[in-house]
Amino acid sequence: MIAQPITARLLCSALAALTLAVLLVFATPLSAQTSGGQPKSPSGSNPTASSVNEQKLLQELDRLSGRVTVPNPQLAMLEQPQGRSYQSFHERWLPWIGGIAVLGMIAILLVFYLWRGRIRPTPEERSGRAVVRFSAFERLNHWMMATCFIVLAVTGLNYVYGKRLLMPLIGAEAFADWSQWAKFAHNFIAWPFMLALLLMFILWVKDNIPDRYDAAWLRAGGGLFGGRQPPAERFNAGQKLLFWSVIIGGVLLSVSGVIMLFPFALVDLQGMQIAQYVHAITAVVLTAVILAHIYIGSLGMEGAIGAMTTGTVDQAWAYHHHPAWVERQRRGQVQGPTIGPGEVPAS
């Protein structure tokens, strides 16, 4: 009978220990706060504490994606709040940037024309003799580029401004039909544009390398604001600026454009958004630059358009504006366009 009290004491101790253990195990969750201050679950478990949290994930990863059971990889993206940034860019920033660039340039050109008027050749610049400035191939390529650019600019601007400016005038259905056509035109004309860009680079890169006349030409403002016309080689610094704007802008447009033309073939969703930012900003800025180019080449300077349609300019005018080029032609170094049979040489 002596064992009974010991067993009983042992049992009591064991029971006490067990109770204490159970209380300890359950007391901790009982007293702990659940995440987010939510009331506790009856079992004491809190699956949310170990699970993913949307806001935390967004802070860490920027976008949420997981696993889906369908083969379309785009569907694995659960949430990309960047869509709202894209909305903000497309509907607030871009229309303003484009509007300021294009309308601002038109305003500048108008002011310049009203102040300076049409730049005409002086009497010393009219010799009556012609010299070849651009070969037929150069001119053909230029006009191919010009056609493409104008179509691309108009159809491209339609994506941003069409619904704001044109749709109220012609109604939703007609505007949608026009936009469909404009979309196809934009996509198809892009290819001759890229070809023309490549040819333009090959044809004219040699004559657009910066040379020793450029700094002085820029300092004199190209003679646009009065004063003597500074000398230049075949292309002056202003023309070189235009060339490089077109080449660099054109390459940016081409690369971003091809990326957008084949969705998700080369980049992911973020890449597509960035491609659109680059394409849109480059496009509106380059459009503004080309508006200035169109102005100076047509209305702004008399005789300029003849250079690109007939290919010839007045010899004295050429000697006045591009003396280094005329000298080079006279020395017989064939770096400009080759003079074909029947055409007037520069001497």
Partner 1 sequence: MKTVLGGIFVAVVLAVVAGYLLPRAQEPAHRAFSTQSVRVGDPGTNLVGPTWSGEGQVPPPGKATATSSTGSSHE
Partner 2 sequence: MARMKFLCDADRCIECNACVTACKNEHDVPWGINRRRVVTLNDGKPGERSVSMACMHCTNPPCAAVCPVDCFYQTADAVVLHSKELCIGCGYCFYACPFGAPQYPQVGNFGSRGKMDKCTYCAGGPEADNTAVEYALYGRNRLAEGKLPMCAEMCSTKSLMAGDGEVIAQIYRERVLKRGYGSGAWGWRTAYNEDISV
Q: Which stretch binds partner 2 (CB under 8 A): 10-18, 86-94, 207-215, 289-297?
A: 86-94
Binding of residue 262 to partner 1 (CB under 8 A): yes
Choose the binding region for partner 2 from 9-17, 81-89, 105-113, 305-313 (rule: CB under 8 A): 81-89
Q: Which does 20 bind (CB under 5 to 8 A by kind): partner 2, partner 1, none?
A: none
263 binds partner 2 (CB under 8 A): yes
Q: Which is nearer to partner 1, 71 or 128 (CB)?
A: 71
| Binding partner at 39 among partner 1, partner 2, none, C-beta below 5 to 8 Å by kind | partner 2
Q: Does 91 bind partner 2 (CB under 8 A)?
A: yes
Counting contacts by CB under 8 A, is residue 337 touching partner 1? no
- Nearest to partner 1 of 127, 187 (CB atom): 187
Is 148 a binding residue for partner 1 by CB under 8 A? The answer is yes
Instruction: With H, G, I as helix, E, B as strand and everything else as coil, classify residue 98.
Output: helix
Q: What is the Cβ-side half-sphere exposure of residue 87, based on CA atoms within 13 angstroms?
A: 5
77-88 residues labelled b (16+ CB within 10 A) or e (exposed): eeebeeeeebee
CB 22 → partner 2: shortest distance, Å?
20
Residue number with CB closer to partner 2 (102 or 246):
102
Question: Interface with partner 2 includes 83 (CB under 8 A)?
Answer: yes
Q: Kindly report the backbone phi and psi dihedral angles of residue 33, in degrees, each rounded to the nearest multiple of 5, phi listed first.
A: -85, 140
Rounded CA-CA distance 102/70 in Å is: 45
In the set 41, 309, 310, 335, which binds partner 2 (CB under 8 A)? 41
Site for partner 1 in 56-115 (CB under 8 A): 70-72
Among 231, 311, 336, 337, binds partner 1 (CB under 8 A): 311
Chain centroid offset of residue 279 CA: 3
How many CB atoms lie under 10 A from the CB of residue 101?
A: 19
Q: Which residues lie below 8 Å from residue 225, measured CB to CB, with a gap of 6+?
A: 116
- Do the Cβ atoms of 202 and 190 come closer than 8 Å? no
Task: List, as own/partner pairs, every contact residues 299-305 make where C-beta atoms lie below 8 angstroms and the sequence separation is at least 24, other chains included.
Answer: 299/113, 299/118, 300/109, 300/112, 300/113, 300/118, 300/119, 301/118, 301/119, 302/118, 302/119, 302/120, 302/121, 303/121
Q: Which residues bind partner 1 (CB under 8 A)?
A: 70-72, 136, 139-148, 151, 184-185, 187-193, 195-196, 261-262, 308-309, 311
